[in-house]
Structure 1
Amino acid sequence: MLKLISFLIHGIQPFLVPICFVVAWTVIILIVLSLCAAAQDSLATAKQMHQIPCTGCQFFTDNYRLKCTVRPSIANTEEAIDCSDYQPKTNPYLY
């Protein structure tokens, strides 16, 4: 049995370096692709979140208990992107 294992190890040994090389670079490439996909997804989410107009609205209170006096359930969410009650702030001191 020991001779069989020794024979297998010596038979596989010339192929181990190229196999490990390919596996290592494959793992590195997969990690880089995963990081790129995560960054791309984060940018898409950030771009969508910047379309929410709540902070520039007259009815936005900037209070964590009542964020909006007209539609508090959708304040600062994706549903508020096309809010029909949006009114731009007219008082410059409210920003």
Structure 2
Amino acid sequence: MLELIFFFIHAIQPLLVPICFVVAWTVTILVVLSLWSAARESVATAKQMHQIPCTGCQFFTDDYRLKCTVRPSIANTEEAIHCLDYQPKTNPYLY
């Protein structure tokens, strides 16, 4: 049995360097592509979240118990992007 393993190792030894080279670069490229994809998706999500107008609305309370007095179920969510009840704050210095 050991002779078979010894023979197999000596048979593939000239191919180990190119195989390891290709595998190492493949793993490196996959990691870089994965990081690039994650960064691109997080930027797209951040752009969408910045379109939520709740913090500038007159009905937004900034209280975790009742975020919005008109539509509390959709406050600070993606559904609030086109909220029909949005009214800009009349006094931006009030919280």
Which amino acid in structure 1 is aligned with residue 84 of structure 2? S
Match of 2:63 in 1: 63
**Helix, strand or coil at the partner of 1:68:** coil
Deviations 1:20-67 (CA, angstroms, capped at 9, x unpaired)? 010011001101101111111111111110000000000000000000
CA distance in 1, matches of 2:77, 2:92: 24
Moved over 4 A (4+): none
CA distance in 2, matches of 1:49, 1:82: 12
Gaps of 5+ in 2: none
TM-score (norm 2): 0.94
CA distance in 2, matches of 1:31, 1:83: 40
The Cα shift of 1:19 comes to: 0.2
Gaps of 5+ in 1: none
Which amino acid in structure 1 is aligned with residue 74 of structure 2? I
CA distance in 2, matches of 1:88, 1:12: 72
Q: Once superposed, what is the RMSD of the aligned Cα atoms?
A: 1.1
CA distance in 1, matches of 2:2, 2:50: 66
TM-score (norm 1): 0.94
The Cα shift of 1:5 comes to: 2.1
2:39 paired with 1:28: no
Percent identity at matched positions? Answer: 84
The Cα shift of 1:11 comes to: 1.1
CA distance in 2, matches of 1:73, 1:2: 69
**Helix, strand or coil at the partner of 2:13:** helix
